[in-house]
Amino acid sequence: MNFMNIDLYGLILALPAILLALSVHEYSHGKVASILGDPTPGFMGRLTLDPRAHIDPFGLLFLIITQRFGWAKPVIVNPDYFKDRRKGMMLVGLAGPVSNLILAFLVSLILRVWAWADPYLWVKLYRGILGSYPQIFFDLLWNMFLINISLAVFNLLPIPPLDGSKILAGILPRKHAHFIDNLEGGLGMVILLFLVMTNMLGTILYPLINFVRGIFLMGM
């Protein structure tokens, strides 16, 4: 990718939202594991919202370059501490996407209040007459809103190592859950990279992201 094609304004506004979304996501994994009795995330310093504890430099760089795909450092958990391993891993996996959806919902409330206070907000945005400082603030909120929805939807895909695979493994009967386990050995990542490189991932994700976005902004 040509670095000259990177939207620097968009990147500068997106980066805080990315760091916050990833930090909340990984913290939530660790917090739920800790609540369920696993001290591992705490021992490894992951029970914090400090981005430095969660960001994988290579994964962040890859996200900046591709502007489509990246990753944070996974939170290591020990399911042996859980009373029910499958249910525990399902709850830990669910915590990340749910936390991002909650954050997106809170941002959508701010946008709703703004739109209520300024009924012509969307018209002003369309015409580019919102003003520099309000425009920057809106763009920050909008990035935070979209990035959290995108991260949640992406991680809900039932492909290892994404959270959706752990959720699906916890839902499926035990005799069928081995199918997910077989993908954990690296095949899941191969499938994921194939979807990214062929742009099929966007074909799958964009309609889902737009659907969730429409629900959150319904009536605005």
Which positions are annotated as active-site residues? 26
Tokens 């501490």, located at residue: 81
CA-to-CA distance for 45 and 73, rounded, in angstroms? Answer: 12
Tokens representing 191? 């499938």
Written as one letter, the residue type at 84 is: D
Residues 6 or more apart whose CB falls under 8 angstroms from that of 37 comprise 81, 82, 83
CA-to-CA distance for 198 and 207, rounded, in angstroms? Answer: 17
Question: Residue 55's beta-bridge partner residues?
Answer: 72
CA-to-CA distance for 100 and 149, rounded, in angstroms? Answer: 7
